[in-house]
Structure 1
Amino acid sequence: MMTQPDLFAAATGQGRAPVPAEPAAAPGPVDLRAILERLARMCERPRYSFMVLNLIAQAGAGTGSAGPYVREGGRHVPVRDWLCDALLPVGARDPRRRAIEGRVRRELACARTLPADPAQAEQVVEDEVRRRVRQSGRTNVSRAVSELVRAGLVRRHYQGYRVDHENRGAQRQAVYTITEEARAALGAG
């Protein structure tokens, strides 16, 4: 298994200040407080990164490894989509989400594809909003995982068609593995 180095190691000048590189593991035992301090120091959005870390720990409870698919009910969902869906309730009251709902409703009404039944119309709007939010949420999850990789709490590789590889593409899906120190601190092991 090969792991991918951080995709966002150097800031690209897109409004983000560079985050100083730190050693992956701090000396001594790591507890929850130490993980929170590390996330606060190394992550642009430490609370979001902590939620992603907890969800990865939950999805990989038995092995510490989540992905490339997570079983949800009777189906298999790519791990990034599963993480996005799990984080959807957090942004339900966000003004940006409400703006997306309004835009979707207007677009569907202008295209005359909104059902006349109010319950069906709400479901169509909700499905389209979920699709759009998931699309942007995948980027947010990837960024948070990159910060977790940089913090030394998660390892990432890509698994899929033919061989595992450190780079994505060629029908490969992400696999996130929580480190032993993070598992111990979170009580996930």
Structure 2
Amino acid sequence: MFQPDLFAMEASITPVISADREVLDMPAILERLTEVCQRPRYSFMVLNLIAQASDRNGSAGPYIREGDRRIPVRDWLCDALMPVAQRDPRRLAIADRVRRELAERNAMPADAREAESLVEAQVAKRIRLSGRTNVSRAVSELVRAGLVRRHYQGYRVDHPNRGAQRQAVYIVNEAARRVLRRA
């Protein structure tokens, strides 16, 4: 039995522009990102990081090996982009909110160093949660721009839909990979 609603989402994220066979250069990628993306600079950073983490086929994920740890690709991207948010006023507001919440619960350690490391850990955790959403949104825009393909891999089989212990896999197309490799 065919259920059309299952495929409605997949149809809505088809690429606006297919870039697999065309010749691209950096200005063309930037122009495409400004046409398709709400935050083209952020999307370009995500594209560049995915290209750096990818194997020679352009595939990054579902896990990125960092030392002896395996990190889901979205978490790795969030961690890599975290320094961009260091001076962001929203990060400072989150840190103030965390301090206030810890003080209200009497959970703030007496030692200033311990307190600051606890606050930083909580801020990093909250930023990672929101960062995962930002990365997913940027990747969706890159998919629409035709620069990246995405699927999910995990528990039982490769699958186009998320959920059920599946992790994202991002694949940068060949034309974009060549341009980013030269840069």
Q: Same fold by TM-score, threshold 0.5 exceeded?
A: yes
Give unmatched runs, 5+ long, in structure 2: 1-8
The match for 1:105 is: 99
Instruction: Confirm or deny that 1:117 pairs with 2:111.
Output: yes
Task: Select the structure that is richer in helix.
Answer: 2
Mapping for residues 44-123 of structure 1, pairs under 5 Å: 44-123=38-117
Give the distance between the partners of 2:12 and 2:43, measured in 1 at CA.
16
Give the distance between the partners of 2:12 and 2:60, measured in 1 at CA.
19
Shift of 1:27: 7.5
Give 1:91's aligned amino acid.
Answer: A
Give the distance between the partners of 1:181 and 1:55, measured in 2 at CA.
16
Give unmatched runs, 5+ long, in structure 1: 10-20
Q: 1:89–1:6: structure 2 CA closer, same or farther, 3 Å change rule? A: farther
- Say which SS state the counterpart of residue 70 (structure 2) adopts: strand
Mapping for residues 124-135 of structure 1, pairs under 5 Å: 124-135=118-129
Instruction: Give the fraction of aligned pairs with identical amino acids, expressed as a percent.
Output: 66
Give the distance between the partners of 1:8 and 1:165, measured in 2 at CA.
16
Cα pair 1:8 1:143 within 8 Å, conserved: no
Cα pair 1:6 1:146 within 8 Å, conserved: no
> TM-score of the superposition, structure 1-length normalised?
0.86
> TM-score of the superposition, structure 2-length normalised?
0.89
Q: Aligned pairs, how many?
A: 174
Instruction: Confirm or deny that 1:25 pairs with 2:15.
Output: no
State the superposition RMSD in angstroms.
1.9
The match for 1:35 is: 29
Shift of 1:77: 0.7
